[in-house]
Structure 1
Amino acid sequence: MARKISEALDVAAAARADGATAPGAAAGQDRPELQKAIEEIVESGFLGVSLRVHDERGEWAGSAGAAELGGTGKPPTNGHVRIGSATKTFTATLALQLVAEGRIGLDVPVANYLPEFGLDERITVRMLLQHTSGVFNFTGEVDGDGTVAPGIPIPYGTTGKEWLDNRFTTYRPRELVELALSRPARFEPGTSWSYSNTNYVLARLVIEKVTGRSLAEEVRRLILGPLGLSGTVVPDASPEIPAPHAHAYYRSEEDGRPTTTDITRQNPSWISTGGDMISTTRDLHTFISALLGGRLLPASLLAEMCAPHPTGIPNMDYGLGVFVVNTDGGTLISHNGAAVGHAALMYSTPDGRKTLTAALNCVDDAGLSIAPAFLSAQQRLVDEVFRAGQAGHTAGSCG
């Protein structure tokens, strides 16, 4: 069940480098309603929050809470954060850029690119990006009757302490895929929807196979370099996170006594392309705004990316690496992510002109006790930023 809660964080979820406030972003003075919103999120149980909003009033950036447990300094307004499953939007964008280059076919069987895995030949690249492949999630699955089918040790549920003790272990992408493929498929390819990190590790391997280069090199070539995203990192197996950053923590029990561990440094290879990237609120804004503004993909592929596919989740469909969220104010394009003590929010109007990006840090635990506060924080900020002026946008287009 803990994995389902973690999935919900990704789903519903769906300043300068020194931390100073960006020009024109008056650190809570000219937008008191935004400052109040993030202060209320801290009061709900988070250690710290940094928020960046771009809208018709310009840019605003601010922070609340603390960067470190027991400290008094606020989180940097443009600090680095582990963005979790927002990584999937970068990966899907990269795959679609290679489709535009003619190197990947959206409806080509994945087995054509990766014959060594013996994949069902009905599974296409589109199904990976859309979560309709039916491939088992290597971080675990929960069946309809509540039975848990475990995968690798993860920070939540019964394997939380095992993950904590081995948080510097390196997993290779092929190892994660092989584990997933050793388990029964969830459903026949293309017949249903189920969020699976395995899909995006397979997408990574396809990208690396057709280019002959690492995913990190290709992300730098096609996304980070062209957009000047100097604060975004593909860490692979490195436990480091660039400064400045707020700290992430994990609460567990040691010999029956509660203990809190700083897990800011951790090896993210356990989640791989399912959620390993590091970024900043400014870079996330630049990325989602450029993507939806048509700067990274041809119009036809951008439309494919944002075409909503049913998920069974109320008011929330999935495209290719993005959630298509239906709100009272209109349609939003989003992908949030939770990454053990760190979390990131990334929302935009379909034209890329109005965005909300945020970084959160907290004390996490195996039971995901922060989950209700995280879901509430998302809704609080979305309502504050997007509840007006959204009419007229449609779910089937990003333009």
Structure 2
Amino acid sequence: MQASAIIAADGKARITGVETLIPWWSYTKTALSIALLRLSEDGKIDLDETVDGKPYTPAQLLRHEAGLPDYGLLAAYHADVRAGRPPWTIDALMKAIDADRLRYEPGQGWAYSNIGYWQVARLIEQITGRPLAEALADLVFAPAGLPTARLAATPGDLADVCMGDASGYHPGWVYHGLVVGTATDAARLLLRLLQGRLMQERTLARMLAPKALPQFRTERYPDPAYGMGLMLQATDPLAHPIGHSGSGPGSDIAVYGWQGTACAVWAAASSGIDTAVQAFGMLEDRG
């Protein structure tokens, strides 16, 4: 089972596979980053001032430089997800990962952290005074013109979502929030972001500023880096695909843009499809 969409600069889309709602998994981080950056443009938060009571800044949260741990490394977390148990309370989660103990001094290291983006989601709610679903709708989905994108909070919210090989999943296990929408809207969001239609040029430039991650270099990814909610290349980022990959129980997604085109590829885990490789290939063929 697979869904893919590629959208050119003129807005024309080519869709293959199922055109239904799918989980965006960690591509949600891109939406969260857009929301917080738009709030910073409105003067409602300073990205470089420390979060109240914390030693790290919002910018460090967005770039995974805050020193926070990641619950994705907990075996017990994955065991309970597989068993279909309800999500842990946030207090239980924080205790399980010893969240108050930073793994490094903020700004002095890098480690992917879903807890960091949980903090981003809470900041968005605190600043707007609204639930995250409403804030994302106003700050991201409506400005980008995404009719299908929404936040899923309960199992019932996934009733009309294609979950690949998973069943009975509770989206509360994604503590920073799980956005769902079509592959077309996933690609459309990234395209409009990279076209400069969602934020000011200087804000977008900061979002795209790469943190080089040579420790993760592979033959397939020779120059990896991370921006603010975006995976990219460290050298001349605009000359290479930019976007975000994600995975969860039953499926994977990759959403990348390059040379005025954006594409999203989602596939059931059992398909054996490497969604990032396929997305890059689609962009190269189009380019």
TM-score, normalised via structure 1 length: 0.64
Per the alignment, do residues 124 and 179 of structure 1 end up closer, same or farther by CA in structure 2, a change over 3 Å counting?
A: farther
Is 1:345 aligned to residue 254 of structure 2?
yes
Q: Distance in 2 between matches of 1:280 and 1:184?
A: 38
1:61 corresponds to 2:2: no
Residues 1:174 and 1:208: Cα distance change in structure 2 (over 3 Å): farther
Identify if the C-alpha distance between structure 1 residues 135 and 83 changes in structure 2 by more than 3 Å, giving closer, same or farther.
same
Q: C-alpha distance in 1, partners of 2:286/2:82?
A: 43
Q: 3-state DSSP class of the match of 1:163? A: helix
Do the aligned partners of residues 326 and 385 (structure 1) sit closer, same or farther apart at CA in structure 2, a change above 3 Å counting? farther
Paired residue secondary structure (1:207) = helix
| CA offset digits 1:59-116 (Å, max 9, x no partner) | 32112xxxxxxxxxxxx2x211111100000001001011011111110101x2xx3x
CA contact under 8 A between 1:216 and 1:234: conserved in structure 2? Answer: yes
CA distance in 2, matches of 1:297, 1:267: 32
Q: Quote the offset at 1:139 in angstroms.
A: 2.6
Q: Distance in 2 between matches of 1:97 and 1:106?
A: 11
Structure 2: tracts of 5 or more residues without a match? 218-222
Q: 2:242 aligns with which of 317, 323, 333?
A: 333
Aligned length: 279
Which residue of the partner structure matches residue 82 of structure 2? 164
**Separation (CA, whole Å) in 1 of partners of 2:117 and 2:39:** 15
Larger radius of gyration: 1
Cross-structure match for 1:361: 268
Distance, in Å, in 2 between the alignment partners of 1:86 and 1:271 is 12
Structure 1 residue corresponding to 2:61, chosen from 104, 107, 128:
128
Higher share of residues assigned helix: 2
Aligned to 2:276: 378
**Corresponding residue to 2:45 among 100, 104, 107:** 104
Separation in 1, partners of 2:107, 2:201: 25
Q: For the residues of structure 1 that align with 2:239 and 2:106, how far apart are their CA atoms? A: 31
- Rounded to whole Å, the distance in 2 between the matches of 1:177 and 1:100 is 31
TM-score for both structures, normalised by structure 2? 0.87
2:152 is the alignment partner of 1:235 = yes
Matches of 1:104 and 1:193, distance apart in 2: 23
RMSD: 2.6
Q: Does 1:184 align with 2:93?
A: no
Matches within 5 A, 1:194-273: 194-241=111-158, 243=160, 245-249=161-165, 263-273=166-176
Structure 1 spans left out of the alignment, 5+ residues = 1-47, 64-75, 141-149, 250-262, 364-369, 390-399
Contact kept, 8 Å, 1:81 with 1:342, in 2: the verdict is: no
Whether the 8 Å CA contact 1:177–1:202 is kept in 2: the answer is no
Q: What CA deviation, in whole Å up to 9, does each residue of 1:248-299 have, x standing for no partner?
A: 22xxxxxxxxxxxxx33411111221x6221211111221111111111111
- 1:4-153 pair list within 5 angstroms: 48-55=1-8, 58-63=12-17, 76=18, 78-110=19-51, 112=52, 115=53, 119=54, 121=55, 123-140=56-73, 150=74, 153=77
Q: Is the 8 A contact 2:210 2:226 kept in 1?
A: yes
State the Cα deviation string for residues 131-170 of structure 1 (Å, max 9, x = none).
0111111232xxxxxxxxx37512xxxx2xx322234x14
The answer to whether the 8 A contact 1:84-1:277 is kept is yes
CA shift for structure 1 position 380: 3.8
